[in-house]
Chains A and B, each alone.
Chain A
Amino acid sequence: MNVIELEKVTKTFDKLVAVDDLSLAVPQGSIYGFIGPNGSGKTTTLRMIMNIFYPDSGSIRVFGKESQGSSNNRICYLPEERGLYKKMKVREILKFYGNLKNGKNLDKEIEFWLDALDLSEWADKKISTLSKGLSQKIQFIATVVSRPELLILDEPFTGLDPVNTDVIKDEVLKLQDRGTTIIFSTHDMGIAEKMCDFIFMIFKGKKVLDGTLSSIQDKYGSDTLRMSCKDGISALKDLDGVDKINDFGQTQELHMNGECDSQNVLSQIMSRTSVDSFEIARPSLHDIFVRIARPEHEEQH
């Protein structure tokens, strides 16, 4: 069963087409990752699902009904922009947001989540005394405290350190285990690859990718060589059959053109330097993202 269904949805702001003829279906219990460059239409899509923006055309059904969103207590939304009342205390604000979603056993839930995210000692402190990271964790609790069935998170990991990223990531996975459907948008391709059952990419308002990571990678084939060598990127210039190189410092990702043979590339490299590791791989999500988004950037430059 699909929790969310978008059919031919279009939204324009003045002359800018933010979302163009978008169709999408989010299965129940899945984690659905929204990726795309800045300004591609991710947040607009999420806001339309939340019924904060109305589409110009097309239909959006959530739990099988139209015009749901923020008014539906089964759906909770963590927007990209974080904002909390600075003068309120942590417990007060969590109760306020829980009440807005008609949450049950809120006192218990608040204790549970504060404990889970190691924030119990901050319960009676004012928001103004919290660091940015702590505020972000509080904002996350405010979103999940009412135990929604559908959770929509816009950039939930932005600004968090690796420890807190892991904490939030673990909690998101636990929520999925309990049956919650989760949509989140992210710029972190590593997280999207590891966490998402389905990945959806939007670019200039249009859907360019939609499916499991494996199905997406299949489309691009095994045209990537992941390797490391003694002399690094300097030894890899002007290789025959290689279109592009992504340099990560210690490792490099080489994108081969269609006709190229990986063994030929390896022998070229070995003639120049000693190879530490060499792997024929499918392109990473990062690579796929860049392949889609970069030509546009280059044109603009």
Chain B
Amino acid sequence: MYKTFIIARMEYLSTLKSKSFVIIMLMAPIIMSGSGLTMKLLENKVDTTDKKIAVIDRSGVIIEHLVEAAKTRNESEMFDEESGKKIKPAYIFESVEPAENQQSQQLELSDQVRNGSLHGFLDIGSDVLHPGENQETRRITYHSKNSSIDQVRYWLQSRINIQLRRLRLAEVEVEESVIDDVLTWLDTEALGLTSIDEETGDIKDAQRSSEIQSILIPVIFGMIMYLLILMGSISQLQSVMEEKSQRIAEVLLGSVKPFELMMGKLGGGVGIAMTVSLFYVILAVIAVNYWGYEEFIPYAVLPWFFVFTFFAIVMFGAINAALGATCNDPKDAQSMTFPALLPVIIPLFVMIPVIQQPLTGFATGMSLFPLFTPMLMTMRVATPTGIPMWQPWVGLAGVIIFALFFIWVGGRIFRVGILMQGQPPKLSNLIRWAIKG
């Protein structure tokens, strides 16, 4: 035990002092939050170039309204009220008379879009007010270089439909004031569940729910755990292989038993992973508090996160140390890396469906398979939906059993492999060494 501790301490301190570790530790959150940070940075970097759109209104009932609505929008939304700075582009609609040959006209307008004199053009069918059977005359088409995600299209869709409904209601002689009432649009707010405050016993209001809570938080937990497993466990493969090929292992075996050596290395890996996870969590809590999203911090998930991270590092670390002991050179280690990574990559593949529907049989089954449990169960626990309380406990029991099994098997393979030179890391060898010891 004492010798295991000495090895673990040496592994831990030497990793902690290495420059590469500091870089990885600081780079990882930056890379992971990179896309979010970029989105945040680009949030106000909107294209404010005015958008000139040609409108062929074959129905004759829309263009006037669009010009009016655009004028109102441009006056109220284009400039920041405080700074007076232009923050949105102006929408400018220009009526174009329908030509006899629709295709030629659309081609001509498309050319204008291509050469930049127009942002896009809108073609409104003649029967849009009362759409009949004819698919051609009831169509509204918007053409631009990137029409599917063009913000103008979303705006047009909403304005045109409101105007068409307004016109239809007016035709049946509904009063203007009633029309406004009929067309009043209300948003449905996304909220969580109402609960009882454990301290006061009062009923707590439901908190606002968002995509951050539903998707982002579980994903962050999963990604951080993935990173920690890479750092604390998968790295064992390379590290043990290096010690074996540089003959350090044999020197160490003069002082410690192979099992003590393996457990020492594992202890170092666990120490590193737990230090990094603590660093990430503290950093995240500070950052989230700073940005005013403190209600999104899932304190109840943190204990599960730490426990599952701990056992995941032990479980994967043991098997990777054993695999490392079977490798003779970097080439062998390279060929072993993919199979070693597979049980950590698969949870990433199924992450989104599991988070979106954490209660399905698929999500439950996958998260109860011990190799996938640490990542998937933590992600499921982190979803606002919640999962039955027995599941993380059963999952944890499975992970502990697997971790102990891997330590036992890994120890046997490690013991033989670490001094075996020239034998390739074949599956048959692994099985033989695991059985024979």
Contact = CB atoms under 8 A, between A and B. Distances in A.
Contact of A82 (B2, B3, B10, B251): B251
A83 B247 CA distance: 5
Nearest to A79: B250
Interface residues of A, number: 29
Contacts of A28: none
B253 A70 contact: yes
A102 B2 contact: yes
A82 B6 CA distance: 21
B256 A85 contact: no
Contacts of B255: 70, 76-77, 97, 100-101
Identify whether the interface residues of A are mostly helix, strand, loop, or mixed.
loop
A78 B14 contact: no
Interface string B235-270: 000000001001111111111111010000000000
A86 B248 CA distance: 10
Contacts of A97: 255
A83 B257 contact: no
| Of listed A50, A79, A87, residue having the most chain B CB within 10 A | A79
B251 A139 contact: yes
B254 A78 contact: yes
A87 B14 contact: yes
Contacts of A143: 254
Contacts of B18: 87
Contacts of A71: 3, 256-257, 260
Contacts of A86: 246
A96 B6 contact: yes
Contact of B248 (A70, A77, A84, A100): A84
Nearest to A87: B14
A300 B257 CA distance: 38
A84 B254 contact: no
Interface string B265-285: 000000000000000000000
A129 interface: no
| Of listed A70, A71, A142, residue having the most chain B CB within 10 A | A70
Contact of A76 (B253, B254, B256, B257): B254
B256 A79 contact: no
B366 interface: no
B96 interface: no
Contacts of A152: 254
A258 B131 CA distance: 124
B129 interface: no
A46 to B, nearest CB: 10
A84 B257 CA distance: 18
B220 interface: no
Interface string A39-56: 000000001001111000
B419 interface: yes
A85 B11 CA distance: 11
A52 B257 CA distance: 7
Contacts of A121: none
A51 B253 CA distance: 9
User: What bracket does the count of chain B residues touching chain A fall in?
Assistant: 20 to 34
B253 A83 contact: no
Interface in B1-60: 2-3, 6-7, 10, 14, 18
B247 A81 contact: yes
Given A88-B14, A96-B10, A102-B2, A83 B251 contact: yes
B93 to A, nearest CB: 69
Contacts of B249: 83
| Of listed A79, A83, A87, residue having the most chain B CB within 10 A | A83
A99 interface: yes
Given A87-B14, A100-B6, A70 B250 contact: no
B14 A85 contact: yes
Contacts of A47: 419
A93 B255 CA distance: 13
Contact of A70 (B6, B246, B247, B254): B254
A85 B246 CA distance: 9
A53 B419 CA distance: 9
Contact of A77 (B10, B247, B254, B258): B254
Contacts of B2: 102
A143 B254 CA distance: 9
B6 A79 contact: no
A79 B6 CA distance: 20
A85 B255 CA distance: 15
A7 B308 CA distance: 49
| Of listed A51, A77, A88, A100, residue having the most chain B CB within 10 A | A100
Contacts of A79: 247, 250-251, 253-254
Nearest to A78: B254
B253 A82 contact: no
A139 to B, nearest CB: 7
Nearest to A102: B2
Contacts of A142: 251
A86 B256 CA distance: 20
B254 A83 contact: no
A191 B285 CA distance: 67
Contacts of A51: 257
Nearest to B243: A83
A81 B258 CA distance: 17
Contact of B6 (A76, A84, A99): A99
Nearest to A51: B257
A100 B14 contact: no
A84 to B, nearest CB: 7
A70 B7 CA distance: 14
22 contacts: A47-B419, A50-B254, A52-B258, A70-B254, A71-B257, A71-B260, A77-B254, A78-B251, A79-B250, A79-B253, A79-B254, A81-B251, A82-B251, A83-B246, A83-B250, A85-B248, A87-B18, A96-B10, A100-B7, A100-B255, A101-B255, A143-B254
The 10 closest A-B pairs by CB, nearest first: A83-B247, A77-B254, A81-B247, A83-B248, A100-B255, A79-B250, A83-B246, A83-B251, A99-B6, A52-B253
Given A70-B254, A100-B256, 8 more contacts: A51-B257, A71-B257, A76-B254, A77-B255, A81-B247, A82-B247, A82-B251, A83-B249
Interface of A: 47, 50-53, 70-71, 76-79, 81-88, 96-97, 99-102, 139, 142-143, 152
